[in-house]
Amino acid sequence: MPPVFPAAEYDRRLAALRATLKSEKLDAVVVHTPENVCYLSGHATPGYYTYQCLIVTADGEAAVLSRQTETVNARETTHLDRVEGFADSADPLRATAGLLARLAPGATAVGLETRSWFLPPESYERLSGLLTAGGARVRSIDGALAAARLIKSPAEIEQIRAAARSTDAGMLAAAEAAVPGASERAVAAAAFQGMIASGSEYFGMEPFVASGPRAGTIHASWSDRVIGADEPVLLEMSATVGRYNAPLMHTVWSGALSGEAAEMAVACAAARDAALAHVRPGGSPAEAHAACKAAISDAGLAHTYRKRSGYSVGIAFAPDWGEGHLLSLGETEEKRFAANMVVHVVPTLRIAGTAGIGLSATVLITDDGHEVLTSCPVGPQR
């Protein structure tokens, strides 16, 4: 598969990183997180579960290092001239140190990610030791990579729009399939069909389909359970296009929506809209979260809400479709919203073992507010 973007888009990203390296007096950076490798080089493969990295130097060099068998993928998905591989019998950390020495001979300061799931502590310590033995000091580069990915370029936004259209197709198919007598498995199959047929590639995380009392459990995926009458079917999914994601949560009620369930649905919609009122340039994610919680509390349903109210979205590989580690709608978030960020606002009210209702939106922050990118035309009651 060719790179998602023209070379100029990646050149811009690499130039911004190199400017940071120079300002931080770093000679090079070694990147391991698949999303960061993809963001900077375009390289994307389901084989990211094995060791791979991207090395970028301050003076213009860049190379992908992967298993020898994965180098074919890397050459197809990146514009970079340099792709190197290591044999399965080789030590990938020594291969990394060796490649860095060739790309940046005499490097005295190298940046590493300290929060990457794909550079566990033992590997971090060993790689740091190899680099230190070669004369380099090791420092964290996490902050610079996070800041770059939060603000989306016009090209990235087009990929997210495409993902949103595909998510909508999957959600509509799932909502229409979520009728009494259908199994959760059949609903999930409809979601997969809808998203993949409309342009999605492999997902950052699987869809969630939970009916009846299972809807009260977070992250409950499909089972063989058959949907009954007068019960919720909680749906959440995200298509992936060019590795970019646009999640959506929606709830379908298989019958008459009344009583506490109706109150939960009204409160959930009010909470989502209360949070969205703060999603604008300069707005506070923490205040958006507080507004979301207040709307739920005002409805007397505070006991049903126990989580953050949203998170940034963009490039993702499994196991997650979000960028919550970059920005979350939560009480401790200190960052501010800015134009061209994309966030998933996702209040969900749950009573364990009884029911759950969630209504969300992925939104693009514009110069003067926000634009909702995802939607489901099927109402909560059928």
In this predicted model, what pLDDT tens digit does every residue of 100-149 receive, in sequence order? 999 999 999 999 999 999 999 999 999 999 999 999 999 999 988 888 99
Token code pair at residue 223: 């089972």
Task: Return the closest-CA partner of residue 213 out of 203, 227, 199.
Answer: 227
Q: Do 44 and 174 share a structural domain?
A: no
117 C-beta neighbours (distance < 10 Å), count: 11
Taken as a whole, the chain contains a residue count of 382
Distance CA 92, CA 292 (A): 46
Q: Are residues 11 and 61 both part of a single domain? A: yes
170 and 246, same domain (yes or no) = yes
pLDDT at 319 over 90: yes
Question: DSSP letter at 153?
Answer: P
324 and 359 belong to one structural domain: yes
How far is C-alpha 71 from the geometric centre of its chain's CA atoms? Answer: 25
Contact (CB, 8 A) for 214 and 328:
no
What is the domain-level CATH number for residue 181?
A: 3.90.230.10
204 and 116 in a common domain? no
**Which one, of 34, 74, 82, lies nearest residue 57 by Cα?**
82
> Confidence band (pLDDT; 50, 70, 90) for 376?
confident
* Predicted pLDDT of residue 155: 98
Q: Is 382 part of a structural domain of the chain?
A: no
Give the per-residue pLDDT at 261: 86
Residue 147: its pLDDT value, please? 85
256 in any annotated domain: yes
Separation CA 303–CA 132 (nearest Å)? 52
Q: d(Cα 278, Cα 292) in Å, to the nearest integer?
A: 10
Model pLDDT, residue 86: 98
Distance separating alpha carbons of residues 290 and 308, to the nearest angstrom: 10
d(CA 325, CA 306): 18
The tokens for 283 are 């707005």
Number of H helices, E strands in the chain: 10, 15
Mean pLDDT calculated for residue range 280-285: 99
Report which DSSP code applies to 135: T
- Residue 380: inside a domain: no
Alpha carbons within 13 A on the beta-carbon side of 85: 13
Question: CB of 210 within 8 A of CB of 227?
Answer: no
- Would you give the DSSP letter of residue 113? -
Task: Check residue 378 and give its pLDDT.
Answer: 61
What's residue 259's pLDDT? 83
211, 243: one domain: yes
pLDDT tens digits for 32-59?
A: 999 999 999 999 999 999 999 999 999 9
Amino acid, single-letter form, for residue 274: A
* Shared-domain flag, residues 140 and 173: no
- Is 318 a domain residue? yes
Q: Say if residue 362 is in the same domain as residue 291.
A: yes
Residue 381 has pLDDT above 80, yes or no: no
Dihedrals φ, ψ of 360, to 5°?
Answer: -130, 180
Among 221, 215, 167, residue whose Cα is nearest residue 192: 167
Side chain identity, residue 216 = G
For residues 285 and 232, membership in a common domain is answered with yes
Question: What value does the mean pLDDT take over residues 229-254?
Answer: 96
Q: Could you give the CA distance from residue 175 to residue 253 in angstroms, rounded to a whole number? A: 10
Is the pLDDT at 256 greater than 90? The verdict is no
* Domain range enclosing 20: 7-149
Share of the chain above pLDDT 90, in %: 92
Residue 50 lies in a domain: yes
Domain boundary among 98, 115, 149: 149
Q: Number of structural domains, the chain? A: 2
Of 102, 129, 149, the last residue of a domain is 149
Q: What are the residues whose beta carbons fall under 8 Å from the beta carbon of 193, sequence distance 6 or more?
A: 170, 173
Question: At 262, which amino acid appears?
Answer: A
Distances (CA, A) of 303 to 192, 296, 299, 307, 352: 33, 9, 11, 11, 11
**Which pLDDT score is estimated for 181?**
97
Q: Which uninterrupted H or E stretch holds 138? A: strand 137-140
According to the model, what pLDDT value does residue 379 have? 58
Domain boundary among 94, 116, 149: 149
If residue 205 lies in a helix (H) or strand (E), which one and from where to where? none
Q: Give yes or no: residues 140 and 237 share one domain.
A: no
pLDDT of residue 380: 58
Query: In this structure, is residue 269 part of a structural domain?
Result: yes
CATH classification of the domain holding 41: 3.40.350.10
Residue 379 lies in a domain: no
Answer whether residue 160 is part of any domain: yes
Q: For the segment 145-181, what is each residue's pLDDT rounded down to a tens digit?
A: 888 999 999 999 999 999 999 999 999 999 999 999 9
pLDDT of 276 above 90 = yes
Mean pLDDT across the chain: 96
Helix ranges restricted to H, the chain: 7-23, 34-41, 71-77, 92-103, 121-133, 142-150, 154-177, 184-197, 259-276, 285-298
